[in-house]
Amino acid sequence: MTMNEKEVLDALKKYREMDLKYEDGRILGSMCTKPHPISKKISEMFFETNLGDPGLFKGTKKLEDEVIQMMGNFLNNNNPFGYIISGGTEANITAMRTIKNISRKKGNKTTTVIIPETAHFSFEKAREMMDLQYIKPPLTDYYTMDVKYIKDYIEDNKNNKIDAIVGIAGCTELGTIDNIKAISKLAEENDIYLHVDAAFGGFVIPFLEDKYKLNNYNYEFDFSLNAVSSITIDPHKMGLAPIPAGGILFRDISFKKYLDVEAPYLTDIHQATLIGTRTGIGVASTWGVMKLLGEEGYKNIVSECMDKTYYLIKKAKEYGFKPVIDPVLNIVALEDENPSETCLKLREIGWYVSICKCVGALRIIVMPHIEKEHIDEFIGALASVRKS
């Protein structure tokens, strides 16, 4: 049975009402947020574009080249190569594809990657598909990879070549930043590829005021470090672009050859992205939001989020809730004896936090849509759940 246009839109509206809305402040466990308002107008303008066939959409392709350059600029790379893709998962898989293909070209039979315990589960998808071998160093007291362990591991395994190291700049669970500066030095000395997953931190760390920086972390993570060959950085997280807008940047175009697949039917004869057909909405929106906000705009957004993060911690402490670590970025982990249960109880009363796997804790991401009133209400709700 068909419906007319009004019936379709009315029906869809009802489904949409069952969704949570960012502005209600109940989404406390997501790394996505309400996109910047300008992106709705931009999306309408670029609604029909397809960067899977860039020769047809030359203007949109030009925007992608420019936006990669703009992101390269604030990542200290004047000559980057990359794409705006579906998200961090595709970006991380793309980096792993590159690493595997470099390793294979060298004649290695297995691809070995040193990667933190705290890595996002997209790396597990990559491992399973590509049969990668992961080495997971222990974590320090600050929940970062133990660099001394990596050093020793490399020395002890001279015959068992390490193909790559993955470092995280803004880890999903705790927001921690691996000591990528020290790792880069090791990687450079031993000719090892270094990929940085800054899916979340990429639009935070470059705009973070010094006053928020902790002593126990090194905040350097970008192409200014010699061994960094690729970075995952998602505009649709803290960049305020709409989904889909993930980002993968390489140091330069020399990495493209490891990704190219022959694409006989398209306007380009090779395709390097994992996904084929892809909308230009993410590209144009990222371009637009970046031009509109500029460095100052992102700095303000990051400072506001950090301010609210400290507010959340202060409130939590008032109720006797203990954060696992001081906040590195706008992510808070609160110790909890049974985080899964607490999480479910909170959901029952309409609050959506998530949990940390690496420590028993509730995980809250203080995205731009979270206001101080929401934090007050949430802490009250958490107190009531803990008492029950």
Of 167-186, binders to its own copies (CB under 8 A) are 172-173
**383 lines the binding site for its own copies (CB under 8 A):** no
Cα dihedral 285, 290, 292, 298 in deg (nearest 10) = 130
124 forms part of the interface with its own copies (CB under 8 A): yes
Judged by CB under 8 A, the stretch of 217-225, 293-301, 314-322, 370-378 that binds its own copies is: 293-301
Which of 79, 108, 110, 131 contacts its own copies by CB under 8 A? 131
**What's the token pair of residue 87?**
């998200």
Of residues 334-373, those binding its own copies (CB under 8 A): 347, 352, 354-357, 363
Smallest gap from residue 15 Cβ to its own copies (A): 4
H or E stretch including 45? helix 38-45
Cis peptide before 80 (omega within 30 of 0): no
Site string for its own copies, 12-51 (x = CB under 8 A): xxxxxxxxxxx----x-xx-x-xx--x-xxxxxxxxxxx-
Identify which range of 1-9, 143-151, 180-188, 322-330 contacts its own copies by CB under 8 A: 1-9
Name the residue nearer to its own copies (CB basis): 20 or 213: 20
Q: Among residue numbers 90 through 109, which ones bind its own copies (CB under 8 A)?
A: 90, 93, 97, 100-101
Question: Which residue in the set 73, 129, 138, 322 belongs to the binding site for its own copies (CB under 8 A)?
Answer: 129
Residues in the chain: 388
Site string for its own copies, 201-240 (x = CB under 8 A): ---------------------------------x-x----
240-271 residues labelled b (16+ CB within 10 A) or e (exposed): bbbbbbbbbbbbeeebeebbeeeeeeeeeeeb
Three-point CA angle 120, 118, 125, nearest 5°: 35
Between 317 and 347, CB nearer to its own copies: 347
Nearer to its own copies, 202 or 246 (CB): 246
Mark the segment that binds its own copies (CB under 8 A) among 69-77, 116-124, 216-224, 308-316: 116-124
Burial grade of 125 (CB within 10 A; 0-12, 13-18, 19 or more): middle
Query: Among candidates 299, 304, 326, 298, which has minimal Cα distance to 375?
Result: 304
What are the start-end ranges of the H helices in 75-133? Answer: 88-105, 122-130
The answer to the question of residue 279 lying near its own copies (CB under 8 A) is yes
- Span near its own copies by CB under 8 A; candidates 68-76, 161-169, 225-233, 267-275: 267-275
Pairwise CA distance, residues 132 & 30, whole Å: 28
Task: Please identify, using beta-carbon distances, which residue of 3 and 349 lies nearer to its own copies.
Answer: 3
Nearest distance, CB of residue 89 and its own copies, angstroms: 4
Angle formed at CA 199 by CA 142 and CA 21, multiple of 5 degrees: 105
Q: Mind spelling out the 3-state secondary structure of 191-204?
A: CCEEEEECCCHHHC
